[in-house]
Amino acid sequence: GQQLNQSPQSMFIQEGEDVSMNCTSSSIFNTWLWYKQDPGEGPVLLIALYKAGELTSNGRLTAQFGITRKDSFLNISASIPSDVGIYFCAGDGEGAQKLVFGQGTRLTINP
Amino acid sequence: ETGVTQSPTHLIKTRGQQVTLRCSSQSGHNTVSWYQQALGQGPQFIFQYYREEENGRGNFPPRFSGLQFPNYSSELNVNALELDDSALYLCASSWGTGELFFGEGSRLTVL
């Protein structure tokens, strides 16, 4: 089946640093999504990408849909303590939100 | 707060037992999806319900079944529980193919 490879698996950074994480797949996806999950919570949508090559920002977050439709990255600028959590990429290849998720990137921030 | 509520939040069962998990979708949402999230992994799509009919299923055996009611709330039933069924079960609601809003999940432990 479809799989997403997300890297890195974990990151330990200082507050104020920029963060970059990415997601690759052997399959083409029509939509790429980035979610954040805090402990004890469900995933929350950060950014949705619908078109190959699309670059979208949401505050300090920027994400891009790769032109091959097989990859995406998420950047966080000037990290703050509330950015701590697990970030998931997800692809929707079949439509109707049958999402395939990556394994997550755990972000830890040292104050 | 996404407006998606799940119950129970935690439960413990033994192998071979059956479990029912419940989800109330956000007001106005007619589609409910269920995902299984094992510890340290990304969510995996189980199935989706739209207007009380199953609308797509992931790679899960038939002992995973579901229902959607006229008020769009939903149940996930798992029969003959196995140890590997221990996971966080996430419900997500949406209006058609719009953004998914996840609940906080039901954490199932199978002993």
List, for residues A72-83, the tens digit of each pLDDT value.
999 999 999 999
Note if the bond before A39 is cis, omega within 30 degrees.
no
Report the SS3 class of residue B34: strand
Q: pLDDT averaged over chain B?
A: 94
**What integer pLDDT is reported at residue A1 of this predicted model?**
65
Q: pLDDT averaged over chain A?
A: 93
Residue of chain A nearest B95, judged by CA positions: A96
Residue ranges in chain B whose pLDDT is less than 70? 1
The Cα of B37 is separated from the nearest Cα of chain A by a number of Å equal to 10
d(CA B111, CA B109): 6
d(CA A35, CA B42): 10
Report residue A32 CA to chain centroid gap. 8
**What integer pLDDT is reported at residue A110 of this predicted model?**
87
B51: left (phi over 0), alpha (psi -120 to 50) or beta: left
Q: Which residues contact residue A59 at a Cβ distance below 8 angstroms, ignoring those fewer than 6 apart?
A: none
Percent of chain A with pLDDT over 70: 95
pLDDT(A105) > 70: yes
The burial class, CB within 10 Å (0-12 / 13-18 / 19+), for B88 is buried
Mean pLDDT of A96-108: 90
Phi and psi, residue B84, nearest 5°: -70, -10
Report the SS3 class of residue B1: coil
Q: Is A99 on the interface with B (CB under 8 A)?
A: yes
Residues A17-56 have pLDDT tens digits of 999 999 999 989 989 999 999 988 999 999 999 999 999 9
**What integer pLDDT is reported at residue B99 of this predicted model?**
84
pLDDT(A102) > 90: yes
Residue A69's H or E segment, with its range, is none
**What integer pLDDT is reported at residue B2 of this predicted model?**
72
Q: Is A32 on the interface with B (CB under 8 A)?
A: no
Nearest by CB to residue A43, choosing from B41, B43, B50, is B43
Residues B18-31 have pLDDT tens digits of 999 999 998 889 99
pLDDT(A96) > 60: no
Q: What pairing do the DSSP bridges indicate for beta strands B10-13 and B106-110?
A: parallel
**What integer pLDDT is reported at residue B57 of this predicted model?**
92
**Are B10 and B27 contacting, i.e. CB atoms less than 8 angstroms apart?**
no
Q: Write out chain B residues lying below 8 Å of A102, CB-based.
A: 42
Q: Centre a 10 Å sphere on the Cβ of residue A48 and count the other Cβ atoms it contains.
A: 18
Residue of chain A nearest B94, judged by CA positions: A97
B64: left (phi over 0), alpha (psi -120 to 50) or beta: beta
